[in-house]
């Protein structure tokens, strides 16, 4: 309908576009980086007991500078014919061989100095995959992908109330320090991340900062911390956790996944009531467990 509008140079849109020259402004590279989570079972000695579960993140050891030898999130540059999401899916497929998984855009990190080489933004994604699909990548060609056990603990919390003199009104600064510890066999990567929430009259500014970092490349400690907070936050009011389950699972297994993500134990009865609407019964049961068999459930696709 606006076809024949002409701009101040007398050009129609078609004419403008055909004569358009991109100009030589500096442009950033954009990478899609992925925080891929899964929950794995640890080996259990007692044949009767159920195995414990642990939250794991996939990392790749860098074989090139910068951060040579450090561990990084899987990811790669976005190409001009794809979306960031398509780039993430492509990398995911390459790195894990897995195809149809839950994928959610997290945040675009854009501090200009986050990559020492050049201006690179990271559009980060969180992927959830079920451990039965986890193809433990035997070190292929260049880089090796490894699952790291994840621990993310609040180490310190601090609130400061500040009477702001210049501007009227109060200001509160809430600071939380988290320890992120990733381990695989004898490799332990440890970072301290600070989350600072500054509230004033109208503003609320949240800021993450890496205080210490040992072995993780770039600002990936920050990205992983951000992903863990998102995961924790959404698990309680969405069906996110269901995406980490195999096709059929027991309610106890599902509860374990919730517990690992939330970092606390839940009451069985209350848990079952709460997630009842997210699952549906199958006719199968577990067998040969040394105790009463458990009904298997699957994710319910219908219903809200």
Q: Alpha helices, DSSP H only, in the chain?
A: 13-18, 84-96, 220-235, 251-262, 268-275
CB of 221 to a second copy, least distance (A): 15
Instruction: Tell me the closest approach of the beta carbon of residue 269 to DNA, in angstroms.
Output: 3
Q: Which of residues 5-24 bind a second copy (CB under 8 A)?
A: 5, 7-8, 11, 13, 16-17, 20, 22
d(CA 248, CA 281): 9
- The backbone torsions φ and ψ at residue 7, rounded to the nearest 5 degrees and listed phi first, read -85, -175
Quote the tokens at residue 22: 């991109």
From the list a second copy, DNA, none, which binds 28 (C-beta under 5 to 8 Å, kind-based)?
Answer: a second copy
> Does 3 sit near a second copy (CB under 8 A)?
no
- Cα–Cα distance measured from residue 288 to residue 113, given in angstroms and rounded to the nearest whole number: 56
Q: Enumerate the β-bridge partners of residue 75.
A: 33
Between 43 and 141, whose beta carbon lies closer to a second copy? 141
Q: Which residue has the tokens 């642990």?
A: 54
Q: What is the DSSP letter of 117?
A: S
Kindly state whether residue 156 participates in binding a second copy, applying the rule CB under 8 A. Answer: no
Cα(180)–Cα(225) distance, integer angstroms = 7
For a second copy, which is the closer residue by CB, 84 or 250? 84
Stretch that binds a second copy, among 50-58, 63-71, 183-191, 287-295 (CB under 8 A): 63-71
Give me the residue label for tokens 């096709």.
247
User: What value, to the nearest 5°, has the Cα angle with vertex 197 and ends 191 and 203?
Assistant: 150
Q: Two tokens at 66?
A: 């910068």
Residue 123 contact, options DNA, a second copy, none, Cβ 5-8 Å cut-off depending on partner type: a second copy
Cα(140)–Cα(119) distance, integer angstroms = 30
- 278 sits near a second copy (criterion: CB under 8 A): no
To DNA, the closest distance from the beta carbon of 47 in angstroms equals 6
State the binding partner of 30 from DNA, a second copy, none, CB within 5 to 8 A by kind.
a second copy
With contacts defined by CB under 8 A, name the span among 41-49, 123-131, 252-260, 266-274 that binds a second copy. Answer: 123-131
Q: With respect to a second copy, which residue has the nearer C-beta, 107 or 271?
A: 107
Considering the complex, state which of residue 50 and residue 198 has its C-beta at the smaller distance from DNA: 50
Asked if 154 touches a second copy (CB under 8 A), the answer is no
């Amino acid at each position: 309908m606006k076809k024949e509008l002409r701009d101040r140079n007398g050009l129609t849109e078609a004419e403008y576009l055909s004569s358009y020259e991109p100009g030589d402004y500096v442009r950033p590279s954009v990478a899609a980086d992925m925080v891929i989570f899964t929950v794995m079972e640890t080996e259990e000695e007692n044949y009767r007991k159920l195995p414990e579960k642990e939250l794991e993140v996939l990392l790749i050891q860098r074989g090139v500078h910068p951060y040579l030898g450090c561990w990084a999130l899987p990811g790669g540059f976005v190409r001009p014919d794809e979306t960031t999401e398509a780039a993430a899916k492509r990398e995911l497929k390459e790195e894990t061989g897995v195809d149809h998984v839950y994928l959610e855009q997290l945040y675009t990190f854009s501090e200009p100095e986050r990559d020492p080489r050049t201006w690179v933004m990271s559009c980060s994604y969180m992927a959830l995959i079920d451990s039965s699909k986890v193809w433990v990548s035997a070190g292929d060609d260049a880089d090796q992908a490894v699952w790291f056990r994840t621990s993310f603990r609040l180490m310190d919390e601090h609130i400061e109330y500040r009477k702001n003199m210049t501007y009227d009104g109060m200001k509160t600064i809430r600071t939380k320090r988290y320890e992120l510890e990733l381990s695989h066999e004898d490799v332990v990567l440890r970072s301290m991340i600070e989350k600072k929430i500054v509230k004033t009259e109208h503003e609320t500014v949240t800021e993450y900062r890496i205080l210490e970092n040992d072995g993780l490349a770039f600002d990936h400690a920050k990205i992983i911390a951000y992903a863990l907070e998102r995961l924790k936050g959404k698990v309680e009011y969405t069906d996110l956790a269901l995406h980490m389950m195999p096709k059929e699972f027991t309610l106890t297994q599902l509860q374990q996944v919730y517990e690992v993500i939330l970092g606390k134990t839940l009451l069985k009865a209350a848990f079952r009531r709460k997630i009842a609407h997210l699952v549906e019964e199958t006719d199968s049961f577990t067998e040969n467990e040394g105790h009463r068999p458990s009904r298997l459930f699957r994710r319910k696709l219908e219903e809200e």
